[in-house]
Chain A
Amino acid sequence: MLYREAGQFKASYAEDQQIFPIRQDRIAVAILLVVAFLVVPLLIFALATLGLNLLTGYAGQLSLGTAAFMAVGAFAAYNFMLRVPGIPLLVAFVLAGVCAALVGIVFGLPSLRIKGFYLAVATLAAQFFVVWALTKFGWFSNHSTSGVINAQKMTILGYSFDSPVAKYMLVLSIVALLALAAKNMTRSSIGRAWMAVRDMDVAAEVIGIRILYTKLLAFAISSFYCGIAGALYAFAYLGTVEPEGFNLDLSFRVLFMVIIGGAGSILGSFLGAAFIVLLPIFLNTIAHPLELTLGLTLPPGLMSNLELIVFGSLIIFFLIVEPHGLARMWQIAKEKLRLWPFPH
């Protein structure tokens, strides 16, 4: 009843093509953006997930090097800021993204010959190589004794982004811009080429899609997104990062965000990131009050383990209920909501 789009007419192609075609969705998104501040890590992970989703969900190339590309972005941004005096922050971020893209292209080369799980193993090399290189060569961390880098202050045109709200606005702007670009990429010829390659690369080649170019472009753009996400992770969220922080666990986490959110969906990237980032925090937040209200004196440690158990079970639950991810679930829910509460 509430979720009816009756009366919302589309009078032009532009209106028909908009990202949120239903008015209720637009209002919900607007409210969410206001309420959801302080969730900087969520946005950053959503960006990394988006990057991986372009590569895995759209172009069908499985990658386990996400954290490595994030690390390249973080360390490149740090080094640009450190070594190029007076470089504007956003330029440093973009250059960091470009560095990550170049590394992505190099490690994407095997994708021309190998597919599927074998490609995942090949991209694993990126994961270990990058972390090793950042640890081994002190130059990258400016010879910091512990290998930890301290991100510089973020200043754009004299305004320094150090309050949580300012950081949120900055991250939100960058993520919104890149998400918009990603959405448009996926519905232009690039995205169609990616999907053709994903569905059957031989057929794609036959109809005249250049496999080399398409696959490497997917790696480059995906790594660019991951690189920017890594730079934001270091600059806007943690403030200090060490190469060890970008380990295989992080790559897997991003991959799980793609799987749970829905491969091949922009919305899914955000939903997946929200699920994996927010749910453990949420469980942790309610655990203590719950313990108090129920008057339980649980052995310490049990609560922490319970959180993990609940989190794991929810992942399994969602994967069984909807293997195509939360994005698909939202789509089904939308269909149902249109009829609710009076199904015909």
Chain B
Amino acid sequence: MKAVKAALLGLALAGIATAASAQNEQFIPMNGYWVGPYAPGGSGIFGGFIDYINMLNARDGGVGGVKLTYEKCETEYNNARGVECYEREKKKGPTGATVIHPLSTGITYSLIDKVAADKIPMISLGYGRTDASDGRVFPYVFPLITNYWSQNTAKIKFIGMKEGGMDKLKGKKIVNIYHDSAYGKETIPILDAQAKKYGFEVTHIPVAHPGNEQGAQWLQIRQIKPDWVILRGWGVMNPVALKSAAKVGFPRDHIIGVWWSGAEEDTIPAGDAAKGYIAAGFNVAGANFPVIQEIKKYVYAKGKGEMEDQTRIGSIYYNRGVVHGIVTVEAIRKAQEKYGKKPLTGEQMRWGIENLQISEARLKELGATGFMQAIKVTCADHEGGGAVKFQQWDGKQWKVITDWIQPDRELVRSMVEQSAAAYAKEKGITPRDCGKEA
């Protein structure tokens, strides 16, 4: 057994050594999940991400002549496995891992200290630690596009719109039903702050992982008789929530989901119970965007591609994966402008992300107008966007029902700064002076 163990370790080390062979390559680890209760999200997002990268490799030969390479690692949405994947992949490729997408709030938390020590930027696109939006305290962490607190204020704004004005929120009852994990708990403080500001009443109800039994929670909701329910679920918890809501007769068009609760994989299993359900999103569904058509042309037409079930191309998760691809590649382009067209290091990549700017004009060039919002990242603001669109499930597909709704930036930013400052104090970090950053 000892010999087997030693051989096993030897093999593992050999595997690490073989990867660093080719030269003009930029390595991106794909640490995701293709099995388990969260596989629909993981496989869809990494499917879109990898397809986008393969499309660029096939069409343009990579970015600026540098080929993009990747390797998959199965994290099972489990923190320990996620850390292990990160440790395994961080040294691969000619310049090491240049950017990491953990695709799990828990893993993001576990990696915050590690990425700062290894100088590898981490993008947590629409998830992760909200107060990392304060780039002065978290130089290597980028919760890009929109964070949980921003989307939550946008949701309250949306509810205000539906109720006929923010002043109408007074005395309303809102229930926040959440996945009992770091991810789910992330929005409790901002909801409490908003409840105080607008005078509505909020009740937080946790659902234990994985959330396939919610009878008790929805009975409690029926007793409370809330005006609105905010669904902060993930994976199998979402269809179960919708079905349970139908069972207790709560109107689905008064349930508002976060973007991790608003994909086809969440609504189709719930069947008719999902009709009318509303969810926020920072990308939209649909395969008619030129960028998706390019992927079909350069990847799927050649018999390649990540998605077995090609009907999923253009779904919410798949398109979100393409958004992951777009921001990553645009950041590489930005960094190449400064450091030259060669494989970048993590530090150079960090500069690229921090100075990333994707304008509407650029989105048009990419064939992604209306697909996602324009973003502008700065040293102080690692979020760069903040707006969401609301979409409603009509029984067959997601219909966008609003334009981009902006968050309550003032409130979010003040809470982010407060929270980041507390973290900096606990950890003994001196925040950077953004005026001095080049």
Contacts and interface: CB of A to CB of B under 8 A. Distances in A.
A313 interface: no
Interface stretch (A178-186, A200-208, A239-247): A239-247
Contact of A32 (B5, B106, B188, B306): B5
Interface string B315-359: 000000000000000000000000000000000000000000000
B20 to A, nearest CB: 14
Given A239-B113, A301-B34, A333-B1, A284 B74 contact: yes
B235 to A, nearest CB: 14
A135 B204 CA distance: 13
Interface stretch (B10-18, B224-232, B246-254): B10-18
Given A247-B209, A301-B308, A239 B114 contact: yes
Nearest to B188: A145
Interface in A285-316: 285-286, 288-289, 297, 299-301, 303-305, 307-308
B186 A146 contact: yes
Contacts of B1: 271, 326, 329-330, 333
B109 A242 contact: yes
B203 interface: no
Contacts of A299: 308
B374 interface: no
Interface stretch (B76-84, B266-274, B285-293, B395-403): B76-84
Given A32-B5, A278-B8, A242 B181 contact: yes
A286 B209 contact: no
A43 to B, nearest CB: 13
A1 interface: no
A35 B11 CA distance: 12
Interface string A134-167: 0100000010011110100000000000100000
Interface string A246-285: 0100000000000000000000000100100010111011
A282 B6 CA distance: 12
A31 interface: yes
B117 interface: yes
Interface string A315-328: 00000000000100
B105 to A, nearest CB: 8
B180 A35 contact: no
For the complex, would chain B's binding face be called helix, strand, loop or mixed by DSSP majority? helix
Interface string A321-343: 00000100110010000000000
A282 B73 contact: no
Interface in A37-71: 38-39, 41
Interface in B281-308: 304, 306, 308
A90 interface: no
B436 interface: no
A150 to B, nearest CB: 7
A281 B80 contact: no
Given A284-B73, A300-B308, A242 B106 contact: yes
A36 interface: yes
A52 to B, nearest CB: 18
Contacts of A244: 106, 180-182, 209
Contact of A288 (B3, B71, B308): B71
A100 to B, nearest CB: 19
B421 interface: no
A15 to B, nearest CB: 22
Contact of A286 (B15, B39, B180, B183): B15
Nearest to A301: B34
Nearest to A41: B80
Contact of B34 (A31, A142, A305): A305
A172 B188 CA distance: 40
Nearest to B18: A289
Nearest to B35: A304
B306 A300 contact: yes
A280 B78 CA distance: 13
B9 A286 contact: no
A135 B15 CA distance: 40
Contacts of A301: 34-35, 39, 43, 308
A28 B2 contact: yes
Given A289-B15, A333-B1, A148 B182 contact: yes
B185 A146 contact: yes
Given A145-B185, A150-B113, A274 B83 contact: no
B24 interface: no
A114 interface: no
Interface in B184-208: 185-186, 188-189, 206
Contact of A240 (B34, B81, B112): B112
A96 to B, nearest CB: 19
B73 A305 contact: no
Given A38-B87, A304-B74, 11 more contacts: A35-B6, A145-B419, A146-B109, A147-B182, A150-B112, A238-B83, A242-B181, A244-B181, A244-B182, A285-B15, A300-B43
12 contacts: A29-B2, A32-B2, A32-B6, A36-B5, A146-B105, A150-B113, A150-B427, A238-B80, A244-B106, A284-B74, A301-B35, A308-B35
Interface of B: 1-3, 5-6, 8-12, 15, 18, 33-35, 39, 43, 46-47, 50, 71-74, 79-81, 83-84, 87-88, 105-106, 109-110, 112-114, 117, 129, 180-183, 185-186, 188-189, 206, 209, 304, 306, 308, 419, 423, 426-427
Pairs of residues from A and B, 10 with the lowest C-beta to C-beta distance, nearest first: A301-B34, A304-B34, A146-B182, A304-B35, A299-B308, A304-B74, A240-B109, A285-B15, A244-B181, A146-B185
Interface of A: 28-29, 31-32, 35-36, 38-39, 41, 135, 142, 145-148, 150, 162, 237-242, 244-245, 247, 271, 274, 278, 280-282, 284-286, 288-289, 297, 299-301, 303-305, 307-308, 326, 329-330, 333
